[in-house]
Structure 1
């Protein structure tokens, strides 16, 4: 997964997630593929740190309380398989929050390890479901029931159009308290992101030539964060193949673009 750059959209996502978590209602986040939804969710949930611990065997996790002093580990992230059966969605969500309690608890007698009416850990404040369009109709209802019986906040992340699909489920949609549209990078913010990325690559501070390259990147990617990352990876490869090239130019970007499949938004 690419390094996170704190963009305006990422900060807006964190504000959105904080509101859903503290208010304990359902939030809906949608946006085109590659804009950074999943990256923001992983960062907010501290998922690279938490996930390896949550995947440990129960017997080991029971004694591995490294999260006892990590109040920022308040969120778990769940990505369903394609066409996940309703029963499996419930089982996996319950198991995930139980494991979260094992890692967060100070000891095995910690009272907060108790579960709520639906088996969810009292340590878990927010569940983020990524790729939520994978959920079948019955699985969506199961998730809604899981939410109703718990005291958790819930965020559903999906592609544009999911908000129209969920509108067909009044019992779910009436519980959505916050809708967040995750957008592509604006031109000015793209320039800031690229300047940061150039610095990480050890490239020169943008000059007139690089400014033209930034414009070419904007035209190619339309502000799509994932595509920007892939394009820069290819640009770095092109530069290494051409000894002596020490800056991003339009020629480098054109060569990098030829190595990618650039879809039409």
Structure 2
């Protein structure tokens, strides 16, 4: 490969990809069931297991429909909460701005009414609330009321321990979001299968690395990622870039060892 081609490949490897993996497919089926049954729920799992990626993939599959001179139809609205503590006002502002309208000023009640109005106008059926463990306790009734007052299905997505701890403080919220989907770590044959998929569909190097068939490499990757798909993605992409920069067309153990040492999970 010439230098320009190598740089193009490196740039490609630095762009995010969303693969329709088995867990992503199962999550989509579960979300479809929530919409059909008109029942809220929560999706939980440790950090790095693909909750956000799966949520974005489902949202993309149910993309916005635009009609001239009318509000867009948004069957699935995905919002990501930021900051350490999401108040009711911030929650409603996030909804309004994600729908690409200006939040403007106003007190909490005005923002609530405006967000409810826009949700109805945009015909939102399902609201995915990512990083839901960031919600303040006093925001929970507003999340619960979305189903009662606006007739949409809210789904909370967040880190297992923090989200479950939060909603357990309100028995009405806990009961409403009792249905859950659990994101699991990559283990055993599933880990090996995912490495193979990543090599074929994400890395796509000039030569086959056969990473999934090398037990030493699989063991090394398992130890460094602890089954987290996000870390696996980062390590394999970095290794692919390192290989190309070094004039190598595939990943071998020496390239991976040179990369994986830069990653270390903090002990809990």
- Indicate whether the TM-score tops 0.5: yes
Partner of 2:242: 238
| Matched-pair contact (CA < 8 Å) for 1:213–1:248 | no
| Matched-pair contact (CA < 8 Å) for 2:78–2:130 | yes
Partner of 2:139: 139
Q: Equivalent residues in 2 for 1:57-68 (5 A)?
A: 63=68
Partner of 2:186: 185
| Residues in 2 aligned to 1:208 and 1:29: alpha-carbon distance in whole angstroms | 29
| Residues in 2 aligned to 1:228 and 1:137: alpha-carbon distance in whole angstroms | 34
Q: How far 1:205 sits from its partner (Å)? A: 5.7
- The one-character-per-residue Cα deviations of 1:9-39 (angstroms, maximum 9, x if unpaired) are 2122112111111112211111111110000
Q: Equivalent residues in 2 for 1:1-265 (5 A)?
A: 2-46=16-60, 50=64, 63=68, 74-82=75-83, 83-93=85-95, 96=98, 118-119=116-117, 120-121=119-120, 123-161=123-161, 162-200=163-201, 201-202=204-205, 203-204=207-208, 206=210, 210-243=214-247, 245-264=248-267
TM value normalised by structure 1: 0.77
Q: How far 1:147 sits from its partner (Å)? A: 2.6
- The one-character-per-residue Cα deviations of 1:81-136 (angstroms, maximum 9, x if unpaired) are 3222212323443565696xxxxxxxxxxxxxxx9994222621100000011111
Q: How far 1:77 sits from its partner (Å)? A: 0.4
Structure 1: give runs of 5+ residues left out of the alignment.
54-60, 100-114
| Residues in 2 aligned to 1:66 and 1:188: alpha-carbon distance in whole angstroms | 47
SS of the aligned residue for 2:127 comes to: strand
| Matched-pair contact (CA < 8 Å) for 1:97–1:121 | no
Aligned length: 236
Structure 2: give runs of 5+ residues left out of the alignment.
1-14, 102-112
TM value normalised by structure 2: 0.76
Indicate the RMSD between aligned Cα atoms, in angstroms. 3.1
In structure 2, relative to structure 1, the CA distance for the partners of 1:95 and 1:117 (3 Å cut) is: closer
| Matched-pair contact (CA < 8 Å) for 2:95–2:115 | no
